[in-house]
Structure 1
């Protein structure tokens, strides 16, 4: 029985590690998105805006809360980038964020 318990614990630990890594990758991707958007918006404190974008991800499951925030801010500033542009940027930044997390 000890062998089965050890295997179960190993699977649980791997799952927890994978979930933590996924969370960190998404948070990094959102930070990169915030830095990109802050440059477009001409923000003087890019890190503060990036933190706002990261925090927006906790409103609901999925990416729509982040997309809504960034696209809304870009639209309010009169910039041409819309929700589809933000989605494309999220897709572009995901492998960048994953690589950064892997190498950190």
Structure 2
């Protein structure tokens, strides 16, 4: 086996790991966003968790984050504007990535 093959395999492993970590961070972000939105909608407990799960599932409708934004924006109606929702999405992604780096 050549050094090139080893380097290629290492690169592929790193890419797969990075993609998995990004996927997990986005899922955590979506859960936080869902719980935040649920709070604005007056949902608590199991209802809030169910809503957060719906937000997570919304991310599988299409590539990118617009599907999640559209769902939350439509559900919230006048409770939050576009800038607030997008700011929360960015904030929660940063928090989710930081949480994944630091062990509990």
For the criterion TM > 0.5, the same-fold answer is: yes
Tell me the number of residue pairs that the alignment of Structure 1 and Structure 2 aligns. 101
| CA distance in structure 1 between the partners assigned to 2:101 and 2:52 by the alignment | 21
TM-score computed with the length of structure 1 as normaliser: 0.90
1:58-97 equivalence runs, <5 A: 58-75=60-77, 79-97=78-96
Query: Counterpart of 2:97?
Result: 98
SS in 1 for 2:88: helix
Unaligned runs of 5+ residues in structure 1 are: none
| CA distance in structure 2 between the partners assigned to 1:19 and 1:38 by the alignment | 28
Unaligned runs of 5+ residues in structure 2 are: none
Is contact 2:40–2:79 with CA below 8 Å preserved after alignment? Answer: no
SS in 1 for 2:12: helix
1:14-53 equivalence runs, <5 A: 14-44=14-44, 45-53=47-55
